[in-house]
């Protein structure tokens, strides 16, 4: 019999004994209900329903966790902070990074300087602000990492060691995203399951496999609540991508609206898994809130769709019919050729109910809905410089 079945039997035996002794357990405390003996039998409750919830020790008073997001000024961090602040309260979510926050971010809630390589500073933040969860976003992404391997090793590997050790020391729940880049040419590429050969050929991928293995080791060895999702390419309209191999799928929307000319740095037939940012951020929150004992593994694939540059061009042309496309593969092609084409995320769907909302059509609809007003000079007279691609792209 499996451990889960034994766990259930023991749990229900405890429930039975407590029921017999008139002890009532709720998630708020333990009560005795001795008055049942005194009242008329007809007035006694016929059924007593027990809800024994796993008590999440990493949650703060009022059941709201206090969260520190590292590297929060990147493509994913700003959006996640906003989602989490709506859910857990503005003052409970601390954004951090090593760059100066733009005024809108600085005004939106707590923002602190934190270099992921500075153990003492991180320790100070965790203690001072009673942090319960860390979402560790600081990283050098695939293309950037290949251009500065020593720095990628420091940020992606040493930085991870710092958050692992601190999460163990202060009993924090730790989320570290992984990536399709954690797979390599020897992995099955269509589909790529959770558990398979992982021999990546980029420092980014190597550092992410290291993060997955170290996190799982800390979970098994020290009981630290480590969680990781392997994301595909993430596409967003509000924040710029941070130098990954899937960035072309963001650039195309800006190019379509600005110039009508798009040059893909990947070959037309390069199929890669992708996801719209709202799905990505929702997956993090949902995954972090699942009780630990419901997770059958600590690292899951998640995805929403897979497409090639040519397929994306065809979908974008439904919105911008005059779009011209060229394919001029650069060094990122070599990276993409070793990555999964289709991601198998069936375990995430089965174990904790992961479900994407945006497919390729939904993605294009929402990207144009968000970006059109940014580039549309008629509806936004202030955007007189919309022909200036650089300026527009950085404001989007």
Ligand X SMILES: NC(=O)c1ccc[n+]([C@@H]2O[C@H](COP(=O)([O-])OP(=O)(O)OC[C@H]3O[C@@H](n4cnc5c(N)ncnc54)[C@H](O)[C@@H]3O)[C@@H](O)[C@H]2O)c1
Query: Is 28 annotated in the active site?
Result: no
User: For 48-60, what is the HEC assignment?
Assistant: CCCCCCCCCCCCC
Instruction: Work out which of 65, 67, 68, 71 binds ligand X, going by CB under 6 A.
Output: 71
67 is a site residue for ligand X (CB under 6 A):
no
Closer residue to ligand X in complex, CB, 302/320: 302
Q: How far is CA 114 from CA 125, 167, 228, in A?
A: 8, 16, 21
Closer residue to ligand X in complex, CB, 339/368: 339
CA-CA distance, 150 to 255, in Å (whole number)?
A: 33
Closer residue to ligand X in complex, CB, 65/233: 233
Q: Binding pattern to ligand X, positions 110-129, x when CB under 6 A?
A: -----xxx------------
138 is a site residue for ligand X (CB under 6 A):
yes
246 is a site residue for ligand X (CB under 6 A):
yes
Segment near ligand X (CB under 6 A), from 68-76, 219-227, 258-266, 373-381? 68-76
162 is a site residue for ligand X (CB under 6 A):
no
137 is a site residue for ligand X (CB under 6 A):
yes
278 is a site residue for ligand X (CB under 6 A):
no
Tell which residue, 169, 198, 172, has the closest CA to residue 185.
Answer: 198
Segment near ligand X (CB under 6 A), from 74-82, 220-228, 303-311, 339-347? 74-82
Instruction: Give, as one character, the DSSP assignment of residue 341.
Output: S
Closer residue to ligand X in complex, CB, 135/374: 135
77 is a site residue for ligand X (CB under 6 A):
yes
Structure tokens at 268: 């037309």
Alpha helices in 225-276 (DSSP H): 248-258
Binding to ligand X in span 1-60, by CB under 6 A: none
CA-CA distance, 212 to 228, in Å (whole number)?
A: 7
150 is a site residue for ligand X (CB under 6 A):
no
95 is a site residue for ligand X (CB under 6 A):
no
Q: How far is CA 368 from CA 91, 123, 363, in A?
A: 33, 42, 9
CB of 247 to ligand X, least distance (A): 8
Strand order, beta sheet including 233-235: 233-235, 272-276, 305-307
Q: What is the DSSP string of 206-231?
A: HHHHHHHHHHHHHHHHH--EEEEEEE
Tell which residue, 255, 301, 299, 305, has the closest CA to residue 276.
Answer: 305
> Count of residues binding ligand X (CB under 6 A)?
27
Structure tokens at 273: 């898994």
Instruction: Give, as one character, the DSSP assignment of residue 36.
Output: G
141 is a site residue for ligand X (CB under 6 A):
yes
Tell which residue, 50, 4, 1, 13, has the closest CA to residue 291.
Answer: 4
Instruction: Work out which of 25, 98, 149, 153 binds ligand X, going by CB under 6 A.
Output: 98
The active-site residue, picked from 31, 88, 170, 204, is 204
Structure tokens at 371: 């970006």
139 is a site residue for ligand X (CB under 6 A):
yes
Q: Binding pattern to ligand X, positions 172-211, x when CB under 6 A?
A: -----x-x--------------------------------
Q: Report strand pairing: 93-97 vs 111-113.
A: parallel
Name every residue whose Cβ is closer than 8 Å to that of residue 150 and which is 6 or more positions away in sequence. none
CB of 4 to ligand X, least distance (A): 31
The greatest distance separating any two alpha carbons of the chain, rounded to the nearest whole angstrom, comes to: 83
244 is a site residue for ligand X (CB under 6 A):
yes
Question: Which residues form the interface with ligand X (CB under 6 A)?
Answer: 70-71, 73-77, 97-99, 115-117, 137-139, 141, 155, 177, 179, 231, 233-234, 241-242, 244, 246
- Give the active site residues: 204
């Amino acid at each position: 019999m499996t451990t889960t079945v034994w766990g259930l039997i023991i749990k229900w035996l405890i429930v039975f004994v407590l029921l017999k002794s008139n002890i009532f357990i709720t998630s708020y405390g333990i009560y005795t209900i001795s008055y049942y003996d005194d009242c008329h039998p007809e007035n006694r409750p016929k059924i007593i329903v027990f809800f024994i919830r796993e008590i999440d020790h990493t949650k703060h008073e009022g059941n709201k966790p206090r969260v520190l997001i590292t590297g929060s000024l990147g493509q994913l961090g700003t959006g996640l902070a906003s989602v989490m602040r709506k859910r857990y309260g503005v003052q409970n979510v601390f954004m951090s990074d090593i760059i100066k926050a733009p005024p809108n971010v600085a005004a939106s809630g707590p923002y602190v300087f934190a270099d992921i390589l500075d153990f003492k500073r991180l320790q100070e933040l965790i203690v001072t602000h009673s942090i319960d969860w860390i979402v560790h976003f600081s990283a050098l992404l695939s293309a950037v990492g290949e251009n500065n391997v020593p720095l990628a090793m420091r940020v992606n590997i040493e930085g991870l060691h710092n958050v692992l050790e601190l999460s163990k020391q202060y009993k924090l729940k730790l989320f570290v995203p992984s990536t399709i880049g954690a797979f390599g040419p020897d992995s099955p590429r269509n589909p790529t399951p959770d558990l398979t050969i992982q021999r990546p050929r980029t420092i980014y991928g190597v550092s992410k496999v290291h993060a997955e293995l170290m996190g799982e080791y800390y979970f098994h060895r020290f009981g630290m609540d480590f969680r990781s999702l392997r994301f595909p390419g993430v596409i967003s309209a509000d924040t710029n991508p941070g130098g990954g191999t899937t960035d072309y799928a963001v650039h195309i929307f800006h190019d379509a609206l600005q110039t009508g000319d798009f040059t893909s740095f990947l070959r037309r037939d390069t199929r890669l898994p992708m996801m719209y940012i709202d799905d990505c951020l929702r997956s993090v929150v949902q995954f972090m809130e699942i009780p630990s004992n419901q997770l059958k593994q600590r690292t899951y694939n998640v995805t929403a769709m897979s497409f090639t540059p040519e397929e994306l061009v065809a979908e974008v042309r439904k919105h911008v019919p005059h779009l011209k496309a060229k394919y001029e593969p650069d060094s990122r092609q070599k990276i993409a050729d070793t990555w999964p084409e289709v991601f198998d995320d069936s375990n995430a769907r089965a174990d904790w109910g992961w479900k994407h909302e945006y497919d390729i059509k939904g993605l294009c609809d929402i990207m144009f809905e968000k970006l059109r007003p940014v580039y549309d000079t008629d509806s936004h007279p202030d955007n007189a410089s919309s022909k200036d691609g650089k300026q527009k792209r950085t404001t989007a």
